[in-house]
Amino acid sequence: QVERRVPAGKWLAAACAALAAAGGPAAEDAGGNGPEALKKLSIRELKAMLASHGVKHDDCFEKSDLVKRALELPQKKKGPKGMLAKPVAGLQLTASQAKVVTAMLLDHAVGMDFCLVGEKGAGKSALVRAFAGLLGYRCRVVFCYKDMISRDLLQRRTTDPRGNTEWHDSPLVQAALTGDLAVLDGVQRLATGTLYSTLGPLLADREAVLPDGSRLVAPTRWRRLLERQGLPADSTELRGPGGELMRPVHPSFRCVAAAEPPGKGGGGANAGEAWLDAEVSTLFHFHGVSQPPGEEQLSLVAATKAKDPKVLQGLLSYAQQIRGAAANDVNLEPLRLSVRVLLRIARHLERRPGDVEGALNRAFSACLRFLPQSSQEAVDRLLVKAMKAAGISVKGLQHVQVTAASEAETKGRRQELQELEHTAIQARMFGGLGDEVDQARQKAERERADQRKARMDGLRRQAGVAARRRAVEGTQVVGGVLKIGDVSCPIRTPECPELVPDVTFVDIPKHVEALRDMLLDWSLGHHLLLVGNQGVGKNKLTDRLLCLLRCEREYVQLHRDTTVQGLTLSPSLVNGAVVWEDSPLVRAIKAGRCLVVDEADKAPLEVVCVLKALSEDGELALLDGRTIVRPDDPR
């Protein structure tokens, strides 16, 4: 055989490319489909590759020996390269995330808007922040909801200090005028046809007619208008032939949409209606965002310095199982393990390494307790099974009261019931079997009484265990540190002591235990949500915790008529005139106080979206033009 002559430099390139495609330990890039690619290399190419890695191959006399030695080469760490290898906007990108960001950058380079489609918690918002951070964009977020009308996407009616109504540009229009990045969060919730009919001209042609009669003009057409009328090149507005106001769309304007896959609760008449139709598909380039692979999720969690990898392996196994179970039971959707929840659990274990059950309860119990009993038990079984397979023993989640009988016991009862039913049918049809029916009925009543007695005995035993359980130690402040049980947190020095609540509080064991759990989440930097029936003491617990921490409080109560404007601005009467001032929410943010939002469940969805943006993304645009940003934001 005659070998094909290939220059030595190309040998190495071809060999490395084949090794990368092999997907073995020596793969330098994303994997391929096995060692078949290495077998296609010649002996000379394999020897050159091994020599470049400093591996001896004098004892290899067959090609199969060379292939085996090549597959044993040490693997380089996989991950993004170049500028994406460094943290971007506080996020360390994984290989799959860097691939999506690269595709987003390519779309931006050719002037296209794009849409990220992925499941809840897949990291769409994080990818948008990374994209904006790389290019220096300012994000203007529009939270979409089902009842949102088309006009709200462009402009909304507001009230000036004199009480007159006026039109105010939406964040989307502001982004178009200033060259920022407009983010449409949750476009699948919009009613069918709203997205294309309202934003089609703006996204496709960079032109739009606003509700107040003004117009947005594309940059190329704007330059021609200025030349025709002899106006300076830096003009920002002019009047059209009909007297309408015309303003230019900035050339740097881009629009990014984030949505869940079709059929995951889109808008329209039906909750599961597919929002991605032929019209919407012409507005964006689409990129799928899936959950990162298990090894990438572990690499993200490694930054939190959690010391027990077995817990994380068990959680990843649970995530795979719950994903399959949620496909058959829609009630399990809120309990899918997202990257955000995984990081929250890892931070909890970083602070309290041995509190595995506490971390799991804080991650899942809030949603779990409102599910049907069968769904609760299914999730509890999946989680316990996954953790047990990883070598971690957990007793299960709180608020899950397993009342369903075992499978064998249920099967036995079903069989007895069928026999009793057959006996009753025979007695009705043929008669003469009344005694047997009575005996069977009495037997069933005795069994029900025994089951009732066993259930009551179990409840008494649980009550005895709870009574013997060691109560949480009371609250105490020593050296400027608040300590409740085994949880401690430094107290604050208030600038306005009159804003620190002071309530009459009785330290009963149940409330002290709740305060301990609240203090733990507070010390971890989490936002707290108290859910309970009316009159159980939610406000009392909140005020008591703030009193112990010496933390100033700002209070706002929501209702069904609360608006975004009312949440960020509050009217007050000064010298007989109405003056709009900062709301308690804005004052709390500026002064670093604690904001207590009462009756949050009664607020409209658009108001809840504002709270979500503030708590999760750390950014909020006010109606007067100001923007609340994160402390590390360069703005």
Per-residue pLDDT band for 463 (boundaries 50, 70, 90) equals low
Tokens of 417: 């019931």
DSSP secondary structure of 138-179: PEEEEE--TT--HHHHHEEEEE-TTS-EEEEE-HHHHHHHHT
Q: Do residues 107 and 171 share a domain?
A: yes
Query: Measured between alpha carbons, how far is residue 51 from residues 8, 70, 225, 257, 491 in Å?
Result: 12, 10, 66, 49, 63
Q: Do residues 256 and 303 share a domain?
A: no
Per-residue pLDDT band for 23 (boundaries 50, 70, 90) equals very low
pLDDT value of position 464:
60
Q: Do residues 419 and 494 share a domain?
A: no
What total of structural domains would you count in the chain?
4
Q: Do residues 169 and 251 share a domain?
A: yes
More confident residue, 18 or 154: 154
Q: Is the whole model's pTM more than 0.75, yes or no? A: no
More confident residue, 269 or 283: 283
Q: Do residues 459 and 546 share a domain?
A: no
Closest to 120 (Cα-Cα) out of 291, 274, 343 = 291
Structural domain includes residue 6: no
Q: Do residues 479 and 455 share a domain?
A: no
Q: Do residues 120 and 248 share a domain?
A: yes
Domain that holds residue 220: 95-266+274-289
Type of residue numbered 389: A
Provide the β-strand partners of residue 157: 167
Length of the chain: 635
Distance, in Å, from the CA atom of 347 to the CA atom of 83, rounded to the nearest integer, reads 27
Closest to 185 (Cα-Cα) out of 140, 151, 150 = 140
Q: Do residues 512 and 565 share a domain?
A: yes
Structural domain includes residue 39: no
Distance, in Å, from the CA atom of 286 to the CA atom of 107, rounded to the nearest integer, reads 10
Structure confidence by residue, pLDDT tens digits, 540-582: 999 999 999 999 999 999 998 888 778 887 777 777 777 778 8
Q: Do residues 360 and 422 share a domain?
A: no
- In 41-193, alpha helices (H): 43-52, 63-71, 95-109, 124-135, 150-154, 171-178
Distance, in Å, from the CA atom of 525 to the CA atom of 516, rounded to the nearest integer, reads 15
Torsions phi, psi of 505, nearest 5?
Answer: -140, 135
Average pLDDT over residues 606-613: 80
Helix (H, G, I), strand (E, B) or coil at 314: helix
Structural domain includes residue 87: no
Structural domain includes residue 505: yes
pLDDT of residue 387 exceeding 80, the answer is yes
CATH of the domain at 595: 3.40.50
pLDDT of residue 50 exceeding 80, the answer is no
Structure confidence by residue, pLDDT tens digits, 441-450: 788 788 888 8
Structural domain includes residue 3: no
> Which of 48-62, 191-205, 367-381, 430-444 is predicted most confidently?
191-205
pLDDT value of position 16:
42
CB 108 within 8 Å of CB 135: yes
DSSP annotation of 191: P
Q: Do residues 278 and 314 share a domain?
A: no
CB 583 within 8 Å of CB 569: yes
